[in-house]
Chains A and B, each alone.
Chain A
Amino acid sequence: MTAQTFAVPARAATSTRVTIGRVIVYGFAAIVGLCLLFAPFLFPDVRAQEVAARICVFIVLVASYDLLIGYTGIVSFAHTMFFGLGAYGTAIALKTMGRGFDAILVGGSLGVLAAFVLAVLIGLLSLRVKAIFFAMVTLAAASVMLVLASQLSNFTGGEDGITYEIPRFFSPANRLEDANGDQVRLFGVPVTGRLYLYYFVFLSSLALFYLMVRIVRSPLGTVLQAIRENEMRAEAIGYRVVAYRTSVFCIAAVVAALAGVLRAVWLRYTGPDVTLSFDIMIDVLLMVVIGGMGTMVGAIVGVVIMTLAQFYLKDLMGAGAQATADLPLIPELLNPDRWLLWLGILFILLVYFFPSGIAGTLLGKGGRK
């Protein structure tokens, strides 16, 4: 670039601040990445595995939602619907076709295809209207899907959802044995199908996340941000806003559906509570906001903080209550039953101190107008 000397002082001042924020955010993301990469060896207990796999899948889900709300400025409440389509497609196929990779492939593809078709329809029919009406349309679509999932119970298992088996290759019973028939261990961890499954989820999530990072850094990504910033001007310099919006809506829907496939394979259970419900939608929304909209890396920050809080805040509070058992009042406040209160306080503090999300604020992408 054309570096001009007289501009240096002003830029140096801003860049030091940005650099510290950058180091913190990208350092955190790198640590999370390494933890997830070695999760089976670092945290071998079952619950920690659940948390790690959930973090992987949700990073993809939240990042794909950030493509919409953060980069393009599209507010959609149908994101868990696409997530659910991927998950239900896989689940129903695994249930009816039996535990094979072919079932995952067929069911997953159909789920993703359904998500794509639905996204095209919703996009073309309603992305022309104002943001608030579009949000309402997606809300309606998501409600319909939720009702369908609970009503078509011989197909979807209704409220109870579906439990099924996954390919034998991924089951804990698939042990890797050496010549003597002994279990092979890697760093003391038995090598089983469960380990393969974790890496299947991890590597797929990594690939999807990388794809989205490429999208936002590409020329398309700049156009999406331009549409968010000033729709009228984007149109005036020659971009068909509706076409771009519909495309990104479809991309996000397909990625969400693929995340749903991963979720279904990992959990061996699919039901409204884990894929379709509005509780999940609100979680996703909070994760994007806490992490920082329009940053991609914010998805990592938001998902990790929220997920750890959801899984471990109770434990932490229990320990805190025991440690302070002799003091007045404090053990009462730290009673694990009050974990939602503390989660709420945590959100308020985060939003107060990081108005454009943690990553957004630290990276200096100020949302303050």
Chain B
Amino acid sequence: MTAFIRTENLTIRFGGHAAVNDVTCAFQPGELTVIVGPNGAGKTTWFNLVSGQLKPTEGRIFKGATEITRLSASARAKTGIGRAFQLTNLFPKLTVLENVRLAVQAKAGQGPSALRNAASLTDLGDKAARYLEQTRLSAVAHLPASALPHSDQRKLEVAMLAAMEPDIFMFDEPTAGMSVDEAPVILELIAELKKDRSKTILLVEHKMDVVRALADRIVVLHNGELVADGKPAEVMALPIVREIYLGVGAEQVA
């Protein structure tokens, strides 16, 4: 089976420091992989390399049979790689609806020459409204994104990713900074996505309950290197993992 997304000897160095070092791994459709590792392990950097915000020093990235190493971030988005960001990364002065509609519009490829009123393009607007409903943001659709509380901004981040309708979803700590009663909304959404067996989902996450609830597979990064890769139970049992990652919070796992 051809891997859906694959990195081969992926490496990036900032000066002498290799933030991601020789990472080779592949991900299949219908699989949710959680990427774990201590702070500074290179999780977000690896994400940036895959979605195109950074260009690797060495190594190659494939989507299906196509090499995408040299493609720009926008071109990668067009091939179906969707990315949500760890730090909220929205269009602050645009309304919540406009934020999502931009993602819908990018996917629909609305010609830039179309001089129609954007608000009257009901197909785009309706679709955006549906994603807002799913993320329970309909009530705030007309507020500027910057006016939302943090947890709603995180939801909007997810709504935008879903609206891109990618076949590879990359979530970077989607529940970071969210309260205990807010986080489940996001997790339900991710669980919902998981039901579609044609999608590949990559998730950077720290919270062990989240990892256990969702992961089909766990990849552990440490100092930029891939140190473990496998089924959750196997990976969590590995001594090296307990030592480098779970050592601090071993009781969390138990």
Cβ contacts under 8 Å, B113 to chain A: 220
Docked CA distance A217–B113 (Å): 12
Contact partner of B77 (CB less than 8 A), chosen from A230, A238, A244, is: A238
Contact A235 B72, beta carbon cutoff 8 Å: yes
Cβ contacts under 8 Å, B74 to chain A: 235-241
Contact B53 A226, beta carbon cutoff 8 Å: no
Contact A218 B118, beta carbon cutoff 8 Å: yes
Contact B139 A237, beta carbon cutoff 8 Å: no
Cβ contacts under 8 Å, B124 to chain A: 219
Asked if B160 is at the interface (CB within 8 A of a chain A CB), the reply is: yes
Cβ contacts under 8 Å, A235 to chain B: 72-74, 77
Asked if A163 is at the interface (CB within 8 A of a chain B CB), the reply is: no
One digit per residue, 1 when the CB lies within 8 angstroms of any chain A CB and 0 when it does not, for chain B 42-68 equals: 000000000111000000000000000
Distance (whole angstroms) from the CB of A193 to the closest CB of chain B:
34
One digit per residue, 1 when the CB lies within 8 angstroms of any chain A CB and 0 when it does not, for chain B 28-54 equals: 000000000000000000000001110
Q: Number of A residues contacting the other chain (C-beta, 8 Å)?
A: 33
Tell me the residues in window 110-138 of chain B with beta carbons closer than 8 Å to chain A beta carbons: 110, 112-119, 121, 124, 129, 133, 138
- Considering the complex, give the chain B residue whose CB is closest to the CB of A244: B112
Contact A247 B112, beta carbon cutoff 8 Å: yes
Docked CA distance A233–B97 (Å): 16
Tell me the residues in window 60-90 of chain B with beta carbons closer than 8 Å to chain A beta carbons: 72-75, 77-78, 82-83, 85, 89-90
Contact partner of A237 (CB less than 8 A), chosen from B98, B103, B114, B138, is: B103
Distance (whole angstroms) from the CB of A262 to the closest CB of chain B:
22
If the complex has contacts A219-B114, A235-B74, A237-B77, are A1 and B129 also in contact, measured as CB distance less than 8 A?
yes
Docked CA distance A221–B89 (Å): 20
Docked CA distance A338–B91 (Å): 45
Asked if A7 is at the interface (CB within 8 A of a chain B CB), the reply is: yes
- Considering the complex, give the chain A residue whose CB is closest to the CB of B132: A2
Contact B90 A220, beta carbon cutoff 8 Å: no
Q: Number of B residues contacting the other chain (C-beta, 8 Å)?
A: 47
Asked if A232 is at the interface (CB within 8 A of a chain B CB), the reply is: yes
Cβ contacts under 8 Å, A365 to chain B: 93
Docked CA distance A220–B98 (Å): 12
Contact partner of B160 (CB less than 8 A), chosen from A4, A237, A239, is: A237
Contact A217 B118, beta carbon cutoff 8 Å: yes
Contact partner of A236 (CB less than 8 A), chosen from B53, B94, B116, is: B53
Docked CA distance A6–B140 (Å): 10
Cβ contacts under 8 Å, B51 to chain A: 236
Give the most central of B77, B114, B139, B141: most A CB within 10 Å. B139
Contact A222 B94, beta carbon cutoff 8 Å: yes
Docked CA distance A2–B73 (Å): 33
Chain A's interface: helix, strand, loop or mixed, by majority? Answer: helix
Cβ contacts under 8 Å, B235 to chain A: none
Contact A221 B118, beta carbon cutoff 8 Å: yes
One digit per residue, 1 when the CB lies within 8 angstroms of any chain A CB and 0 when it does not, for chain B 101-112 equals: 111011100101
Docked CA distance A244–B111 (Å): 12
Distance (whole angstroms) from the CB of B83 to the closest CB of chain A:
6
Contact B93 A219, beta carbon cutoff 8 Å: no
Contact partner of A233 (CB less than 8 A), chosen from B82, B89, B138, is: B89
Cβ contacts under 8 Å, B197 to chain A: none
Distance (whole angstroms) from the CB of A21 to the closest CB of chain B:
16
Asked if B92 is at the interface (CB within 8 A of a chain A CB), the reply is: yes
If the complex has contacts A7-B139, A218-B118, are A225 and B77 also in contact, measured as CB distance less than 8 A?
no
Contact B112 A223, beta carbon cutoff 8 Å: yes
If the complex has contacts A7-B139, A217-B117, A230-B90, are A236 and B73 also in contact, measured as CB distance less than 8 A?
yes
Asked if B158 is at the interface (CB within 8 A of a chain A CB), the reply is: no
Asked if B150 is at the interface (CB within 8 A of a chain A CB), the reply is: no
Contact partner of A222 (CB less than 8 A), chosen from B89, B90, B105, is: B105
Distance (whole angstroms) from the CB of A85 to the closest CB of chain B:
24
Give the most central of B75, B91, B113: most A CB within 10 Å. B91
| B→A interface (CB under 8 Å) | 51-53, 72-75, 77-78, 82-83, 85, 89-94, 97-98, 101-103, 105-107, 110, 112-119, 121, 124, 129, 133, 138-143, 160, 164
- 12 pairs across A/B with beta carbons < 8 Å? A11-B142, A214-B115, A219-B121, A219-B124, A221-B118, A223-B105, A229-B93, A233-B91, A235-B74, A236-B83, A237-B102, A238-B164
In the complex, besides A7-B139, A218-B114, A229-B90, 11 extra interface pairs with C-beta distance below 8 angstroms are A7-B140, A225-B91, A230-B91, A234-B91, A235-B77, A236-B77, A237-B164, A238-B78, A238-B106, A239-B74, A240-B74
